A = this chain, B = another copy of it.
Amino acid sequence: MREILDIQKKLLPDLMDIMKKRYSILHHILVSGVVGRRTLASSLDMTERVLRGEVDFLKEQGLLESDASGMKISESGRQLLEDMLPIIKIAFGLTDLEESIAKAYGLSQVIVVPGDTDTSVFTKKELGRAGAAALRKYVAKGDIIAVTGGSTMAQIANNLTISSSMKGNWFVPARGGLGESVDMQANTIASIMAKKTGGKYRLLHVPDHLGEEAYQTLIQDPQIQEVVDAVRSCRIVVHGIGDAMVMARRRKVDADTTRSLQSDGALAEAFGYYFDRQGNVVHKMPTVGLRLEDLQRTEVVIGVAGGKSKGEAIASVLRHGQEDVLVTDEAAAIEIMKHV
């Protein structure tokens, strides 16, 4: 596979460029749904005319369709994009990145999508697609799947589709309420995922910042206890990874804790735990749900995060060593490899 491309490169040096160009046009149209020529041209940084040439070609090949409202991808175009993914990864050099990260951190699979989530909303969507695909790959019938919150997780939820293998699975939030906006809370994500896949879900309604005694009575509650048990016996965890300080701010952590996080060198956050550069846990959010020790019994831990700015944070979570699968983007992957 790789050889064939190397051979072709010798005989057709610009093959890769054209292939990438056409791929990215098609891909852009795929993620945009319906889009016009001018919009597309500016978003791809091409002149209108040359884009038009390519679009005419792609139309002739039956890979996209156009009507008065704009252009959209055809079924065979969508299929083509799917089939092309491995080729594109090689052409973009992403396979190398995937393999080196997997080896450096002892992961069983790494998926790298092209682009940078920090700068392109399309990359974020692609990350969601890839995350959903990864989950689909590892899930089995009757699994309990614990998920966290965050915008990346929301994207994954968006890209899940109904599938027989996920029908009847349980989606649960990995931890209790962690004071984020509603549509990115773990509870919300779990319910969306369940609806999209035809699965079931249970919610954990445990507010933050409870007094000790209120907390104790709450976790004695049989209803809550049941959900917590389910969470702790999950087979799959899918979680985002965040920058420690950004997450602390977003969750309105009090000044004292923030200071202590800073002095402890907290760099990354994942499922309510804060990690320093070496991958040590330096702080945990006071709420119920999945504990670190539960992860060891968990069969598949899937981390999903992207963006150049998150690279270092992802690296420190990976160093902690509980992850099995990582889904990230090109920019973050490059940063991760700087911190081996």
Give A residues with C-beta under 8 Å from B: 1, 3-5, 7-8, 10-13, 15, 18-19, 22-23, 59-63, 76, 80, 83-84, 87, 122, 125, 129, 133, 159, 161
Contacts and interface: CB of A to CB of B under 8 A. Distances in A.
Contact of A87 (B7, B61, B122): B7
A312 B59 CA distance: 34
B7 A59 contact: no
Nearest to A129: B62
A127 to B, nearest CB: 12
B11 A22 contact: yes
Given A8-B15, A11-B63, 20 more contacts: A1-B4, A3-B83, A4-B4, A4-B87, A7-B80, A8-B87, A10-B61, A10-B80, A11-B19, A11-B22, A11-B23, A11-B80, A11-B84, A12-B15, A12-B18, A13-B61, A15-B15, A15-B18, A60-B133, A62-B129
Copies in the complex: 2
Contacts of A22: 11-12
A122 B79 CA distance: 11
A20 to B, nearest CB: 10
Nearest to A9: B61
A59 B161 contact: yes
A76 B159 CA distance: 12
Nearest to A61: B10
A5 B10 CA distance: 16
A19 B19 CA distance: 14
A79 B159 CA distance: 17
A62 B1 CA distance: 23
Nearest to A60: B133
Contact of A62 (B62, B84, B159): B159
Most buried by B among A4, A5, A159: A4
A13 B10 CA distance: 18
A7 B159 contact: no
Nearest to A125: B76
27 contacts: A1-B1, A1-B4, A3-B83, A4-B4, A4-B5, A4-B87, A7-B80, A7-B83, A7-B84, A7-B87, A8-B19, A10-B61, A10-B80, A11-B19, A11-B22, A11-B61, A11-B63, A11-B80, A11-B84, A12-B15, A12-B18, A12-B19, A12-B22, A13-B61, A15-B15, A59-B161, A62-B129
A337 to B, nearest CB: 27
A125 to B, nearest CB: 7
Contacts of A87: 4, 7-8
A93 to B, nearest CB: 15
Contacts of A11: 19, 22-23, 61, 63, 80, 84
Most buried by B among A59, A62, A159: A62
Contacts of A62: 129, 159
List of 7 A-B pairs having minimum Cβ-Cβ separation, nearest first: A62-B129, A11-B22, A7-B83, A12-B15, A15-B15, A7-B84, A11-B19
Nearest to A6: B83
Nearest to A65: B161
A202 B59 CA distance: 29
